[in-house]
Structure 1
Amino acid sequence: MKKIELEGAKNIRDFGGTMIGNRYRIKEDQFIRSNSLAGITEEDARKLEDHYRLRKIIDLRTTQEVREKPDRKILGAKWMHLPLFDASQGGITHEKETDENLPPLDDFIGFYTHMVTNPFSVSKLREVFGEITKQENGSVLWHCTEGKDRCGIVSALFLFLLGGDENTVMEDYLMTNQTAKKRAEDFYEKVLRETGNEKRAEFIRKVYVADSSYLEGAIDSMKKNYGSVDGFLREGLNIEESSRISLQKRILE
């Protein structure tokens, strides 16, 4: 896993170099996870165009998030909107409206569990992986707002699909904190200073930080409902073994 240095997106990484087991590694410059591309510069865009040959962008954000901060267009890359929620959750997706079907705002584990149990979210994950598994030329990038939650679930499932174990998946997930912790602390101090509400400030900090218990909640839910994560990939996302093998052959070396 290699951090990509961009001016306008700080939580962006190339999966290239990630070891799958003891024998295989993911090829470089093919699969990328990121936070929002709304703030990238012209130079950033050229880097994604030229070096990474970006051909597909999968935007996991809600419609309102996209409307408020649309991604910068990247020449040669097809933009696809596949939101994992049909409505938003304030404070998590950074919108004001709420969805009564989502868990309470402070139930972060429930939020992750929702993404692998809610019929709408699971149907969108099927679409996401339909696009990922058929990508053959150039690179594909998926992102949400912060590159942590929705992007984190897709990235975890991607690594599991390639045969990665839970340690590999968790290591990738927690790498977000290399950039998120400072951002989280800055927001914590700002909210505390402006409101004096420590509980609210602590909630805001948790929004930005990747916590292993969040992802573990989703993994446990998949195991409970499908017997294993592989069971979720097969039965929940309808990924055929032939597609899985084809992807592994194509991108592992």
Structure 2
Amino acid sequence: MTPIPLTSVPNLRDVGGYRTRDGAKVRTGVYFRSTDLSRVADTDMPLLDGLGIRTVYDLRTADERDAAPDKLPDGARAVALDVLADKGIRSIPAQMLQVIADPMIAERELGGGRAIDYFEGSYRDFVVMPSAVSSYRELFGGLASNGNTPALVHCTTGKDRTGWATAALLLLLGVGEDDVFHDYLLTNELLLPSFAGVFEKFVDAGGDPALLEPVLGVREQYLEVSLATMREKYGTVERYFSDGLGLDTGVQTLLRERMIAD
């Protein structure tokens, strides 16, 4: 795992470098994850261009994409995959920045443990909701196909929809759960500092910062919900890919060949 220091794109990193259980290593320079690319500074664009990204998989809703269009790196094409399309207006992950702008709305929507309930529900949906299934099927099928990598995968903050995508992929590649959780929780180190101003404004407006922490960061229990749902429904990550996403062992083998170095 290598963080890439673009101040205008927090939470950008190459997920390569993790060891698999059989001693191989996830390739670097193939799969990147980040926040959205709507605010890429001109001074940061050369470094982003230098990653050689061919495909940007955008997991945001149509409204999110319209409100904050990506600035694509040179030579990249965009693939829009609305993971939460079937969730509609109850999607806090898709609307969190609007919700947290007003302490009264935040308290109404997120107080009393509702934020954690929302996110646990969303992480369950990532595994079983039809729009999520079709989006992740296209994402992983694309990653296995020729000409689509290096690829960058993102949502708005690069932590939830992107977090599950990355966790599922690393598990399929044979990376141990400790490292999968390590990569997932790195978001708290790489993303939360960029929200310092959001926390400050929220407090100044009379909001309780404890409301924001489960919304702007990630928690182990969120990813654990996805994993538990996957195991309850499919048993293993391989069967999640085959039975859940419709990506057979041939596609899984291609993914491993593309993503793993001997």
Identity of aligned residues (%): 30
CA-to-aligned-CA distance 1:176-229 (integer Å, 9 cap, x gap): 1112333456534432320x343xx42322111110000001100111111222
Judging changes above 3 Å, is the alpha-carbon distance between structure 1 residues 47 and 185 closer, same or farther for their aligned structure 2 residues?
A: closer
Q: Which residue of 2 aligns with 1:54?
A: 53
Distance 2:124 2:92 in 1: 17
- 2:14 matched to 1:14? yes
Q: Which residue of 1 aligns with 2:241?
A: 233
Distance 2:78 2:95 in 1: 21
Q: Is the 8 A contact 2:54 2:147 kept in 1?
A: no
Q: Which amino acid aligns with 2:201?
A: K
Q: What SS does the corresponding residue of 2:54 show, helix, strand or coil?
A: strand
Judging changes above 3 Å, is the alpha-carbon distance between structure 1 residues 11 and 148 closer, same or farther for their aligned structure 2 residues?
A: same
Q: Which amino acid aligns with 1:58?
A: Y
Judging changes above 3 Å, is the alpha-carbon distance between structure 1 residues 185 and 75 closer, same or farther for their aligned structure 2 residues?
A: closer
Judging changes above 3 Å, is the alpha-carbon distance between structure 1 residues 179 and 61 closer, same or farther for their aligned structure 2 residues?
A: same
Q: What SS does the corresponding residue of 1:248 show, helix, strand or coil?
A: helix
Q: What SS does the corresponding residue of 2:238 show, helix, strand or coil?
A: helix
More RCO (CA 8 Å, sep 6+)? 2
User: Gaps spanning 5+ residues in structure 2: where?
Assistant: 100-113
CA-to-aligned-CA distance 1:153-177 (integer Å, 9 cap, x gap): 1111111121222212111100111
Q: Which residue of 2 aligns with 1:100?
A: none
Q: Is the 8 A contact 2:55 2:148 kept in 1?
A: no
Q: Which residue of 2 aligns with 1:133?
A: 144
Q: What SS does the corresponding residue of 1:156 show, helix, strand or coil?
A: helix
Q: Which residue of 1 aligns with 2:28?
A: 28
What TM-score does the superposition give when structure 2 sets the normalisation length?
0.85
1:174 to 155, 161, 185: 185
| Count of matched residue pairs | 243
Distance 1:179 1:15 in 2: 13
Q: What SS does the corresponding residue of 1:11 show, helix, strand or coil?
A: coil
Judging changes above 3 Å, is the alpha-carbon distance between structure 1 residues 27 and 56 closer, same or farther for their aligned structure 2 residues?
A: same
Q: Which residue of 2 aligns with 1:244?
A: 252
Range 59-68 or range 156-165, more displaced: 156-165
Judging changes above 3 Å, is the alpha-carbon distance between structure 1 residues 186 and 205 closer, same or farther for their aligned structure 2 residues?
A: farther
Q: Which residue of 2 aligns with 1:122?
A: 133
Alpha-carbon distance, 1:238 to partner: 1.3
Distance 2:233 2:53 in 1: 35
Q: Which residue of 1 aligns with 2:40?
A: 40
Alpha-carbon distance, 1:45 to partner: 2.6
Alpha-carbon distance, 1:47 to partner: 2.1
- 2:207 matched to 1:193? no
Q: Which residue of 2 aligns with 1:210?
A: 218
Q: Which residue of 1 aligns with 2:111?
A: none
Q: Which residue of 2 aligns with 1:101?
A: none
Q: What SS does the corresponding residue of 1:141 show, helix, strand or coil?
A: strand
Q: Which amino acid aligns with 1:93?
A: A
Q: Is the 8 A contact 1:59 1:79 kept in 2?
A: yes
Alpha-carbon distance, 1:40 to partner: 0.8
User: Gaps spanning 5+ residues in structure 1: where?
Assistant: 98-103
Judging changes above 3 Å, is the alpha-carbon distance between structure 1 residues 58 and 146 closer, same or farther for their aligned structure 2 residues?
A: same
Alpha-carbon distance, 1:8 to partner: 1.2
Q: Is the 8 A contact 1:17 1:26 kept in 2?
A: yes
